[in-house]
Structure 1
Amino acid sequence: MDHTDWAAKGYSPGLTNEDLAPTTPAQRTWGAFSIFNVWTSDVHSLWGYYLAASLFLLCGSFVNFLLAIGIGSLVIFFLMQLVGLAGVRTGVPYPVLARASFGVWGANFPAIIRAIVACFWYGAQTAAASGAIVALLTRSPDVMAFHKNVHFLGHSGLEVICYVVVWALQLLIIQRGMETVRRFQDAAGPGVWFAMLILAIGLLVKAGGFDIGGIPQDVLLASTKDAGVPGVPGSFASLTAVAAVWITYFAALYLNFCDFTRFAKSEKAVRVGNLWGLPVNLLLFSLVAGVTTIAAYKVYGEVLIHPDQISAKFDSWALAALAALTFCVATLGINVVANFVSAAFDISNTFPKQISFKRGGCIAALIALVLYPFAPWEGSAASFVGAIGSTMGPLFGIIMVDYYLVARGAIRVDDLYREHGPYRYQGGWHAKALVAASIGILFSTLLPNFTHLLPEWWGVYGWFFGVAIGGGTYYGLRMLPEAGTEMVHRA
């Protein structure tokens, strides 16, 4: 769709650019394999492994782990189907879809929140990828000496150098556009399975087989005491928390999965890609993470939940290099897919005429670079995921309630790009959506993370409370009668 088509359709220049416009039939090139690889890229990363291994410790046993992760993965599949189908049916990215519920200008509110979260995750994933390179390089005594003796920006000089190098590599990928993103993820996603299997098989051989008995309870208690998750490992409270954290880990992509499905060939491609990429792939990946954690404990006598820590202990430098580089590439994959793409679209949505997709991505990358000295992602994996994810719960609840319950899927796509169309609401802002989002964020994020007014366990389920409170409040407000006003969604 070019500028002439935009003018003919009455699109407002301040709401449209080439990246935000609805996808054309020629752009819908993503089949089930590409959708599947969105998930291999998203899950098969150092942070994904780190979280899975951390949650494994909280389950107390291998069987409990598979049960909690399996149930969580089915919920993830259902939720991704909801937003994925909205993307393939409308052909618009997340910030444009949000205009239907928040207003043509009000959509900048959820877009900027998602962009900020993407910047935090972008920094966390870049740090994880660079950490794998650091672990490899410090096998050399000279590099280790440099690592220990040179420090700036709150990190070692080696960590800073590796972070900047990995950070810059991602810019090269995103500058080539979404088709390059698809090709990169199709190559990077499956690659980490190779490294994961080498890691697992190598450790199992060293351990002399797999011990389903796992890790002793006293070791689990010591390893999970600061996880921020209620209950002792293996208890019902702990298992439900594990499932909740696993579901919350994908909170960002529940919002912007439509950024990818808008390029899908069909709804069937989304469904098949999601089926293999989510419950099947998630469970297999988690299984390998659990096996590797148990085997690493048996071999090294300590709990190692970072795969780069394990690969750094390999006797073979070549195997250690292969594992480190594969994990690094895989983590770049998730960063580009889950964080760079979203932030680029979200920031572009604020000023479409001035900021393109590529410029939006560069801005997000610069923010992640500024965050690096503060490293807000260091600490408990579960706590970080909960705090970041909970903010997006109300937004997801509102957008999905609006699309499926209020509009019943009848979104007027062209009107999403018209300043004076039915999605203008109150001067371009929808007060009901903003009120619902504010109430939802209050209970999902602000009260549990910055006060002691709510029970300690509340924060673990913050995303769920956000979805229920934000979405429920929005639906209630939309059902209130409005004199002289009809629902704008119905076509």
Structure 2
Amino acid sequence: MEIRNPSPGLYNEDLAPARERRWGAFSIFNVWTSDVHSLWGYYLAASLFLLCGSFVNFLLAIGLGSLVIFALMNLIGYAGEKTGVPYPVLARASFGVWGANLAAMVRAVVACFWYGAQTAAAASAVVALLIRNDAMLDFHKNVHFLGHTGLEVICYVVVWGLQLLIIQKGMETVRRFQDWAGPAVWVAMLILAVGLCVKAGGFSFEHGIPMDQLLEKTKDAGVSGEPGSFWALMAVGATWITYFAALYLNFCDFSRFAKNKDAVRTGNLWGLPINLIAFSLVAGVTTIAAFKVYGEVLLHPEQISAKFDSWVLALIAAITFAVATLGINVVANFVSAAFDISNTFPKVISFKRGGVIAALIALVLYPFAPWEGNAAHFVNAIGATMGPLLGVILVDYYIVAKSNINVAALYQEHGEYRYEGGWNVNALVATGIGSLFSTFLPNFTNLLPAWWNIYGWFIGVAVGGGVYLVMATLRPRHATVTAHA
């Protein structure tokens, strides 16, 4: 739809409702292949596999978790398809035309953290290849700055720069890139799994990893009970669901370009439960085979490829995994941060400039590397910050507004979504209370048990959404009736 006379501080061409909707089910499917098929996705799946203790437990926990992910992505995806607007604009309906900047910037900061983590993972795949050369290995061992080796810094900056080239071409280039990058890593993953199974003497669902090694590898996960226990499986499912916390918010950045609702649902079906379970299965098989071949628990695919005798195979693996990780960065982090930052000052910050700002923030974060350490802990800590936002948005869209959004008013400073001076106090209070229990108390005090962090995102969604529903009942907004989407 065309927006007539929008307020200058709320509009630019990138934030406007999507005019062309060319994304079919295959493109939506490849949003997920690009998002899941990465070094971090593999690392997390392999780490969670250790917590399950057996393949049956692993498939049960990942399978049920993937169904929850599918349901949640459909909820936010349908909102994007119906309204045609990106996440920061959709958030204006819940938080107010100015309050949405708060919701957008929380997502943008998280995107910058994940952008750095994924870029570092892609760079590590290149480093693993280069240190096969003696001169590069010597440089890697002896030159250090910014808290990393010189080779790691150089590879990080190169990979960081390549992503800028993709994003500068716009969303259609992003779509074409993900349509190629996502399937490519499937080929590499299967080659890796089959090759290792052949070396291991056959395919096996039994990992045979001694319990002492499982306990050693999972000791920092914050899970009570040993691998394979009920609480360990609960933690696996919770962490897997929380891994997608960022995209629950901004999947509408992509679904807004979908041809119709069926394209969203079909793409999500193949890209989420089916693809997630298959990818996790391959990660588990590869972890088992690698242990049998090398006698080590190798959670990173670049650690495995570094042991290949063949330079050619190592090169293919490094390039494929690096490209796949670029894919998730562009899809999950670059796009979101670009829209979110653009939303703050749309007159001067375009989608492309927003992406550059996000990339620069990730570059500044690199020396501190907050993403290094335990995978599950990082995922849960980052994800918990976004739970209250999702709770508020879903309750507002589906229960309070009953799926009716006045799209034109989203771009009007003095329209329906002005609330109190541009801020919806109900949403702010609900988000604050939700964040108190999901993020601040478990991370900055000792008042709550250690396991609370694992379920922080869920607690944030429930508390934030619940408080918002109560406040919306006690303090209902005064809606105006105009054309709705």
Normalised by the length of structure 1, the TM-score is 0.97
Q: Distance in 2 between matches of 1:315 and 1:63?
A: 33
Could you give the per-residue CA deviations for residues 312-339 of structure 1, whole angstroms, max 9, x where no partner exists? 1001110010001000000000000000
Letter in 1 for 2:85: V
1:312 aligns with 2:339: no
Q: Helix, strand or coil: the match of 1:180? A: helix
Deviations 1:236-278 (A, max 9, x none): 0000000000000000000000000000000000000000000
Query: What stretches of structure 1 of length at least 5 have no aligned partner?
Result: none
Match in the other structure for 1:230 = 224
Structure 1 residue 347 corresponds to structure 2 residue 341: yes
**Cα deviations across residues 341-368 of structure 1 (Å, max 9, x unaligned)?**
0000000000000100000000000000
| 1:313 to 1:489, Cα distance in 2 relative to 1, 3 A | farther
Deviation, structure 1 residue 451: 0.8
Q: Give the SS at the match of 1:204.
A: helix
Equivalent in the alignment of 1:138: 131
Aligned counterpart for 2:35 among listed residues 30, 38, 42: 42
Residue of structure 1 in register with 2:256 after alignment: 262
**Structure 1 residue ranges (4+ consecutive) displaced by more than 4 angstroms after TM superposition:** 487-491
In the alignment, does 2:135 pair up with 1:155?
no
- Hey, what does 1:210 align to over in structure 2? 203
| 1:15 is the counterpart of 2:7 | no
Shift of 1:13: 1.0
In structure 1, C-alpha distance between the alignment counterparts of 2:13 and 2:475, rounded to whole Å: 38
Whichever residue aligns with residue 413 of structure 1, its letter is: V
**C-alpha displacement at 1:230, in angstroms?**
2.5
Q: Distance in 2 between matches of 1:66 and 1:322?
A: 29
How far residue 280 of structure 1 moved from its aligned partner, in angstroms, is 0.2
Distance 1:116 1:229 in 2: 27
Establish whether residue 250 from structure 1 lines up as the match of residue 244 from structure 2.
yes
AA matched with 2:13: E
What pairs up with 1:5-404 in 2 under 5 angstroms? Answer: 6=3, 9-24=4-19, 27-214=20-207, 215-404=209-398
| Counterpart mapping for 1:418-429 below 5 A | 418-429=412-423
Quote the Cα distance in structure 2 between the aligned partners of 1:213 and 1:72.
Answer: 22
User: Partners in 2 of 1:445 and 1:229 — Cα distance?
Assistant: 18
8 A Cα contact 1:230 1:238, kept in partner: yes
1:267-295 deviations in Å (ceiling 9; x for gaps): 00000000000000000000000000011
CA deviations 1:372-409 (Å, max 9, x no partner) are 00000000000000000000000000001000000000
Across the aligned residues of Structure 1 and Structure 2, the Cα RMSD in angstroms comes to 1.1
Structure 2: runs of 5+ lacking an equivalent: none
Letter in 1 for 2:107: R
Deviation at 1:223, TM superposition (A): 1.4
1:217 Cα offset (Å): 1.7
Paired amino acid for 2:11: T
CA offsets 1:286-316 (integer angstroms, 9 cap, x no match): 0000000011001100100000000010011
Alignment length (residue pairs): 482
Q: What does residue range 407-446 of structure 1 map to in structure 2 within 5 Å?
A: 407-446=401-440
State whether residues 17 and 356 of structure 1, in contact with CA within 8 Å, keep that contact through their aligned partners in structure 2: yes
CA contact 2:305–2:314 (8 Å) conserved in 1: yes
TM-score, scaled to structure 2: 0.98
Instruction: Name which of structure 1's ranges 74-83 and 211-220 shifts more when overlaid on structure 2.
Output: 211-220
Q: Is the 8 A contact 2:290 2:296 kept in 1?
A: yes
In 2 relative to 1, CA 222–489 (structure 1 residues): closer, same or farther, beyond 3 Å?
A: farther
Classify 1:281/1:213 alpha carbon distance in 2 versus 1 (closer, same or farther; 3 Å).
same
For residues 21-52 of structure 1, the C-alpha deviation after alignment (integer angstroms, 9 at most, x for no partner) is 0111xx10000000000000000000000000
